[in-house]
Amino acid sequence: MRSQRSTRLAIAAGAVALALGATGCSGGSGDADDGSVELSIYIDSTESSVAIFDGIIEAYKDVEPDVTITTETHPAGGEGDNLVKTRLATGEMNDLFFYNSGSLFQALNPDQTLVDLSDEDWAGSLLDDFVTTVSTDSGLYGAPVGASFAGAVTYSKTVYADLGLEIPTTWDEFMANNETIKAAGIDPIAQTYGDTWTSQLFVLGDFYNVSAADPDWAQKFTDNETRFAEEPAVAGFEHQQEAFDAGYFNEDFASATYDDGVRMIVEGTAAHYPMLTGNVASAIGANYPDADQTVGVFPLPSDDAANNGLTVWMPNGLYIPKGTEGETLEAAKDLLEWIASPAGCDVIGASSTLGGPYVVDGCELPDDVPAIVSDMQPYFDEGRTGLALEFVSPVKGPALEQITVEVGSGIRDAQDGAALYDEDVKKQAQQLGLEGW
């Protein structure tokens, strides 16, 4: 008798423990009765993101005194991707979150997890290029935070002036410039494989040239009808190998970091650094304010001088997950409306040095932009810009940075590296469940 009751007790205790475990995690910010609303935003922990949101929080206090905004940070990169996806899937996401547009956004299953914003007034004022990167067939889900930027060759104007060099429009001219620079005792190209992601620019920044040679390339790539190991896309890998073979990299390319690369370009100890202008501009704004007119930018050249344009990246978006409801949802939508307005653009521009034009109608860059941004303007004015591959195709292999480190260090040749990347891409396409893979 006694032991039977104990058995029942033990089972009951176990059941209670399980039930507690299952229901223990539910939450979200509640709405207070006095009309004040609290908004929590999930952002990545990079310096420029934190600076932008600090600026937004400070300025929004005056716009909506009843709304209190807080941020919660997660690490950038793959780990952050996992955290965002997990929170979305479990319904634990904050009231809003800040995340990449383009292929990473598509991987979030937006139709099922995010609030459609296509009926908002501001949706019509966004640049079409940006709209496609935060939309699916059935809705628009994000407002832009920040500005567009380019993946291109940042260069030292001081070195170019001292050596009397011209901006190259073909790969051969670029290599001829490098020869002159090397003869003058300056490192022609800065490479910084201590931060592996910086190795990808020869390939990613070359995409304007790829789509100039074949306008349908991105669609064919998504449908598994063309490959990186073939012309014209293999050129990016080949150029990186040629530059390494010619000995144009800084001596410590294998261990140098991104910060070293920016410093070399600013100090003129290296002449070129293929990089994202958004990152370089914010680094210059934060650390080298005197250098804002000495670092310029030109597109990665191709073999054809007639095709010479910038590969452009779109800013990250701010999204609202489906779990945000009621007053909180209204407050979140109001915040997005303000961010996608000229007032919001100005606050963002004041919080961080931007690396390119805004993507909202009516938002203008200030007159005193760094040279790295004003150098880009002619390409935008003449329409010689194209979106990077990650915004026109959902397929992006995760191992590209290791592969380009190998190609750029002479461990693997260009053809082999491109073929290996095709294998990597295949896994991603299958994981996404695309047709034809």
What 3-state class would DSSP assign to 73?
Answer: strand
Min CB(382)–other proteins separation in Å: 38
Min CB(256)–other proteins separation in Å: 9
Matching residue, tokens 């039977």:
4
Chain residues in the site for other proteins (CB under 8 A): 3, 6-7, 10-11, 14, 78-79, 81-82, 85-86, 88-89, 107, 109, 112, 193, 196, 251-252, 254-255, 398-399, 402-403, 405-406, 409, 411-412, 420, 423, 427-428, 430-431, 433
Is the CA virtual torsion 254, 264, 295, 184 positive or negative? negative
The residue (of 278 and 323) whose beta carbon lies closer to other proteins is 323
E strand intervals along 337-398? 385-387
Distance between CA atoms of residues 134 and 198, nearest Å = 25
- In degrees and rounded to multiples of 5, residue 267 shows phi and psi of -80, -10
The residue (of 116 and 173) whose beta carbon lies closer to other proteins is 116
Q: Are 370 and 284 in contact (CB under 8 A)?
A: yes
Min CB(169)–other proteins separation in Å: 32
Question: What is the H or E stretch that residue 140 is in?
Answer: strand 139-140
The residue (of 48 and 200) whose beta carbon lies closer to other proteins is 200
Distance between CA atoms of residues 144 and 345, nearest Å = 9
The residue (of 374 and 409) whose beta carbon lies closer to other proteins is 409
Min CB(166)–other proteins separation in Å: 33
Min CB(228)–other proteins separation in Å: 15
The residue (of 69 and 405) whose beta carbon lies closer to other proteins is 405
Min CB(210)–other proteins separation in Å: 23
Q: Which residues is 318 bridged to in the sheet?
A: 98, 143
The residue (of 115 and 256) whose beta carbon lies closer to other proteins is 256
Distance between CA atoms of residues 340 and 58, nearest Å = 17
What helix, strand, coil percent values describe the chain, rounded to 5?
50, 15, 35
Distance between CA atoms of residues 314 and 101, nearest Å = 7
Min CB(7)–other proteins separation in Å: 4
Among the listed residues 355, 354, 370, the one whose alpha carbon sits nearest the alpha carbon of residue 295: 370
The residue (of 311 and 404) whose beta carbon lies closer to other proteins is 404
Q: Extract long-range pairs of 10-18: CB within 8 Å, 24+ residues apart.
A: none
